[in-house]
């Protein structure tokens, strides 16, 4: 047991810190809602309410009693994963997020996966044939990093491929009007469709996903491509590469060695990229009629739905913390020197 703990402490310790970090962010969310200008009760309801209603709304917002009492209630409910009921829609915020968040995360994950595949492929071309046409185009694209918003690509895509050419289905949801909706099992729509095993539904869903995923990939991959290519260039020039070549190792071993040394920065960047992808997914969902977080959040913002926003903060923190943890763990696995307590030279 002892040596096992010793060898695996690096990731165990990070995992145990997760709830602590989450608690900090829950506290931040709790504090932020109490800093908004004006009386939150009046912000939510408008001005015309009786005293009875006032007290009722205050209680349902979790704003009655002393601050300690409020905090006790809030954290007590948080432990039961209860984010409260929205005063605007009257529905449980936890349930709304539970059904919507998977859709958004799936879209973001698809965007990130496609983006990683494209970037790895392009970077290999740039590494092997730096003067070729594809490499030049790829580098020109990398230089545009951050200049093209995903909604711009999406609007242009809808105009060209739907309105003009009719190659892609209308941007009105994940499925065509005649496709049966797959039974929710995991609540990740594409995964559910695959699990239900109806090829027509899967095909239709993929066709509906082409444009949003394409838009997210075009808008966000340039940063990653630029970073990976510059890292690869640095690692290519290192003595370690010359060592591999001089030992007569096959070409793919040399490549693998270069990539392994160049990857940590890319992994870190992928974590950031996932954040961009979630943001992109939220922005695009409304445009494509997908029922994810997008529409719900814009409604929550325009109607000043404090309960939903407070819950959103906690959920953002939870998702980001998990991504951050994964990034750290992958990097520590790739490069043991990054593990805490290894003294910098393991």
Partner 1 sequence: MRAGGWRWAGLAGAGLVLLVAAFAPLLAPYDARKIAGPPLMKPSGEHWFGTDSNGLDVFSQTVMATRLDVLIAVTTVLAATALGMAAGLAIGMNESGRGGIGVLARAGARAADFVQAVPAVLVGLVAVGLYGSTPVTITVAIVIILMPMQARLVRTEVLQVRGEAYLDAARMAGTSELRLTVRHVLPNVARPAVLYMSVLFGVSIMLTAALGFLGVGVAAPTPEWGAMISRGATDASLGHWWPALFPLTVLILTVLAVTAAFSTFQQGRQRR
Task: Tell me which residues touch partner 1 (CB under 8 A).
Answer: 32-33, 35-37, 143-149, 151-152, 154-156, 158-159, 162-164, 170-171, 268, 271-272, 274-276, 278-280, 282-283, 286-287, 294, 297-298, 300-302, 304-306, 309, 312-313, 316-317, 319-321, 323-324, 327
Name the strand (E) or helix (H) holding 221: helix 199-236
The tokens for 110 are 């698809």
If one counts every other C-beta atom within 10 angstroms of the C-beta of residue 110, the result is 19
Q: Least Å distance between CB 313 and partner 1?
A: 6
Q: Least Å distance between CB 324 and partner 1?
A: 4
Q: Could you say which DSSP state residue 92 is in? A: B
Q: Greatest CA separation found in the chain?
A: 84
Q: Which of 249/313 has CB closer to partner 1?
A: 313
Sign of the C-alpha dihedral computed for residues 237, 116, 293 and 163 taken in this order: positive
Q: Which of 94/272 has CB closer to partner 1?
A: 272
**Taking a C-beta distance cutoff of 8 angstroms, is the pair 274, 111 a contact?**
no
The count of residues in the chain is 346
Q: Which of 192/305 has CB closer to partner 1?
A: 305
Say how far apart CA 220 and CA 149 lie, in whole Å.
Answer: 8
Q: Least Å distance between CB 227 and partner 1?
A: 11
Q: Least Å distance between CB 140 and partner 1?
A: 9
Q: Which of 182/292 has CB closer to partner 1?
A: 292
The tokens for 24 are 């900090």
Residue 263 φ then ψ, to 5°: -70, -40
Q: Which of 235/328 has CB closer to partner 1?
A: 328
Say how far apart CA 70 and CA 30 lie, in whole Å.
Answer: 9
If one counts every other C-beta atom within 10 angstroms of the C-beta of residue 339, the result is 20
3-state secondary structure of 331: helix
Q: Which of 204/307 has CB closer to partner 1?
A: 307
**3-state class percentages of the chain: helix first, strand second, coil last, to nearest 5:** 75, 0, 25
Q: Which of 124/316 has CB closer to partner 1?
A: 316
| Distance from chain centroid for Cα 168 | 26
Q: Least Å distance between CB 336 and partner 1?
A: 19
């Amino acid at each position: 047991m002892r040596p096992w703990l010793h060898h695996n402490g690096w990731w165990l310790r990070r995992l145990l810190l997760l709830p602590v970090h989450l608690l900090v962010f829950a506290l931040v969310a709790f504090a932020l809602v109490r800093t908004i200008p004006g009386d939150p009760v009046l912000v939510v309801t408008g001005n015309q309410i009786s005293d009875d209603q006032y007290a009722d709304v205050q209680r349902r917002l979790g704003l009655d009693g002393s601050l300690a009492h409020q905090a006790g209630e809030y954290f007590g409910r948080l432990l039961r994963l209860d984010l409260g009921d929205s005063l605007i829609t009257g529905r449980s915020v936890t349930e709304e997020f539970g059904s919507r968040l998977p859709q958004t995360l799936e879209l973001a994950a698809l965007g990130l996966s496609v983006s990683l595949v494209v970037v790895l492929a392009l970077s290999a071309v740039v590494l092997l044939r730096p003067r070729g046409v594809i490499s030049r185009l790829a580098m020109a694209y990398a230089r545009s990093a951050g200049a093209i918003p995903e909604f711009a690509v999406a609007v242009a895509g809808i105009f060209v491929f739907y309105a003009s050419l009719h190659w892609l289905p209308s941007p009105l949801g994940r499925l065509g009007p005649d496709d049966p909706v797959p039974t929710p099992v995991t609540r990740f729509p594409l995964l559910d469709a695959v699990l239900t095993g109806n090829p027509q539904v899967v095909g239709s869903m993929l066709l509906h996903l082409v444009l949003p995923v394409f838009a997210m990939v075009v808008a966000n991959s340039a940063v990653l491509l630029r970073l990976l290519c510059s890292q690869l260039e640095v690692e290519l020039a290192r003595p370690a590469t010359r060592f591999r070549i001089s030992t007569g190792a096959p070409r793919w071993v040399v490549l693998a060695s270069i990539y392994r040394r160049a990857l940590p920065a890319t992994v870190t960047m992928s974590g950031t990229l996932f954040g961009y992808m979630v943001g992109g997914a939220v922005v695009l969902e409304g445009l494509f009629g997908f029922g994810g977080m997008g529409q719900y959040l814009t409604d929550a913002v325009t109607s000043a739905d404090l309960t939903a926003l407070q819950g959103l903060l906690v959920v953002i923190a939870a998702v980001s913390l998990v991504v951050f943890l994964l990034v750290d763990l992958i990097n520590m696995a790739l490069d043991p020197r990054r593990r805490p307590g290894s003294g910098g030279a393991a």
